[in-house]
Structure 1
Amino acid sequence: MRVLVAGATGVVGQPLVGALRERGHRVSALVREGSRERAPEADEVVVADALDREALSAAVAAARPEVVVHQLTALRLLRDDPAGAFAQTARLRTEGTAHLVEAARAAGARRLVAQSIAFAAAPAGGPVLDEDAPLYTDAPDPGWAATVRAVAELERLVLGAQDLAGVVLRYGTLYGAGTAYARTGGTAQRVRAGRFPLPEGGAGVTSFLHVDDAVAAAVPAVESHVTGVFHVTDDEPAPAAQWLPHYARTLGGPPPRTVPADLAPRLLGWFTAHQLTTARGAANDRARTVLGWKPSRPTWRDGLGAE
């Protein structure tokens, strides 16, 4: 098939181009002008900014894809400009997705596979939730509320696109090369320096996912005929009280110091405090049974912080 990967220089997009080519697909890599030199080896490279409607339409038309894969984020900016990274990513999930849906339909594509996140659920119900749980669009933190509303809009646009079969892959918290949890990543540096404390209880649940498994889930999503929303996570949702000390040991850092839970937002920021205290994990049963995918790394214990 002819496949266009939008966001082809990203931590998932880059290896995905290679994985799809190995499966015999003809792959076009969509990149921004400023990222052209980092484009992966592809059958062709097309250049456009997803926020430029006309340029994107022309680039997608030139690629003539049957399937479009949406891996667009601006999270590359996280280390230098966290607020800017989240704001730009929200625009890519709303305006960029709308432009990509329009361009895909105009180019005759029949299928759209989009990246989302598995940690946007409202903190209600059990410790591990399925895809039907409501999203945290009314989070008390304005930044996170805006992020989740953008995620909800992306999913609405993808699943409601006329003449396009839509698939949403909600990835867990990514670890592995190129992520914040890699040994050289920003989170790892904070943990090694003892600047990532554990709020009392550490009851927030995180569902992790290795980058390789994110890529491996996108391949059947491209090739199958199923539609809908899927949590793509490992098999062991873990409370912070388990994974954070393990991660610190793996990195060779000090044990995380314990702090009162009510101080966590001030010390860590609202989102990280939420992750460590109240967040819910994500069940991957639907991806296993409907998409036919399972993680090659079923537990974060086998690799978190090791690369």
Structure 2
Amino acid sequence: MRILVAGATGVIGHPLVGALRARGHEVSALVRQESRERAPEADHVVVADALDREAVLSAVSAARPEVIVHQMSALRLLGDDPVAAFALTARLRTEGTANLIEAARAAGARRLVAQSIAFAAAPASVPVVDEDAPLYVDAPDPGWAATVRAVAELERLVLDSGPLAGVVLRYGTLYGPGTMYARTGGAAQAVLAGQLPLPGDGAGIMSFLHVEDAVGATVAAVESDAIGVFHVTYDDPAPAAQWLPHYAQVLAGPSPRTIPAELAPRMLGWYLTHQLTAAHGASNDRARTTLGWKPLRPSWRDGLGQE
């Protein structure tokens, strides 16, 4: 198949290009001009800023894809300017997605597979939720509410993108090379500096996913006829009280100190406090049964903090 990967220089997009080519597909990489030198080895490279409608229309027309994979974000900026990173990512999830869908239709593409997140669920009565659980669009933190609303709009656009067959992959919290949880990433540095404490009983649940398994699930979604929303996560969602001490131990860092839950928002901010104390895990049953995806790694315990 002819496949266009938008966001081909990203943590998932870069290895995805190689994985798809290894399966015999003809792959075009869509990158920004300033990222051209970091483009992966692809059959074709096309250049456009996702927020430039005319440039996207031209680039996608040149690639003539049958399938488009949307991996666009600006999270590479997190370490330098978190506010700008989230704001630009929200625009890519809304304006960028709309531009990509318009270009896909014009180019005659038949399928669109888009990146989303599995950790944006609203409060629920169960610790692990499926894809039908509502998103936390009315979160009390304005920044997180804006992020989740952008995610919800991306998903709406993709699922309503007929005649394109739309697929949304809600990835779990990524670890592995190039992520926040890599040994050189921001989370690891915070743990090593003793700056990531455990609030209260650490009951917030995380569903992790290694980058290579995100790539594998995306290949499965490209080659499948299935449509809809899928959680792409590991089988064992874990509370912070389990994964954070394990992560610190693997990093050879200090054990995370425990702090009163009521102090956490002031020390860590609303979002991180929520993730460590109240977030829900995400079930991967639908991805396993419908996409036929099976992760290469059995658990987040395999590799978290080692790369």
Output the amino acid matched with 2:245: P
2:43 equivalent in structure 1: 43
Query: CA offsets per residue over residues 188-232 of structure 1, 9 Å max, x none?
Result: 000011000000110000000000000000001111110000000
Identity of aligned residues (%): 79
Instruction: Give the superposition deviation at 1:266.
Output: 1.2
**Mapping 1:101-140, distance limit 5 Å:** 101-140=101-140
1:268 maps to 268
Are 1:231 and 2:199 an aligned pair? no
Matched to 2:226, the amino acid is V
Query: 1:300 aligns to what SS in structure 2?
Result: coil
Which ranges in structure 1 are unaligned for 5 or more consecutive residues? none
Q: Secondary structure at the match of 2:83?
A: helix
- Counterparts of 1:286-301 in structure 2, within 5 Å, are 286-301=286-301
Say yes or no: does 1:195 pair with 2:211. Answer: no
Distance 1:183 1:262 in 2: 29
Structure 2 match to 1:147: 147
Partners of 1:298 and 1:157 in 2: how far apart? 33
Distance, in Å, in 2 between the alignment partners of 1:53 and 1:262 is 46
1:61-210 map, 5 Å:
61-210=61-210
C-alpha displacement of 1:19: 0.2
Partner SS for 2:147: helix
Kindly provide the CA deviation profile for residues 38-83 of structure 1, in whole angstroms up to 9, marking residues without a partner as x.
0000001000000000000000000000000000000000000000
Find the aligned partners of 1:266 and 1:193 in 2 and give their Cα distance: 18
Alignment match, 2:60: 60
Cα distance in 2, alignment partners of residues 184 and 139 from structure 1:
30
- Deviations 1:243-290 (Å, cap 9, x if unpaired)? 000000000100001001011111111111110000000000000000
SS at match of 2:301: helix
4+ residue runs of structure 1 moved beyond 6 angstroms? Answer: none
1:23 aligns with 2:16: no
Q: For 2:241 and 2:220, locate their aligned partners in 1 and report how far apart those are by CA, in whole Å.
A: 34
> How far has the Cα of 1:298 moved from its partner?
2.1
In 1: Cα distance, 2:93 partner to 2:220 partner: 22
The aligned residue for residue 282 of structure 2 is 282
Q: How far apart in 2 are the matches of 1:187 and 1:208?
A: 14
For 1:163 and 1:272, how far apart are their aligned partners in 2?
A: 39
What corresponds to 1:217 in structure 2?
A: 217
SS at match of 1:169: strand
Structure 2's unaligned 5+ residue stretches are none
Could you report, residue by residue, the CA deviation over 1:129-177 in whole angstroms, capped at 9, with x for unpaired residues?
A: 0000000000000000000000000000000012100000000000000
Distance 2:153 2:298 in 1: 30
Letter in 2 for 1:238: A
> CA RMSD, aligned part only?
0.5
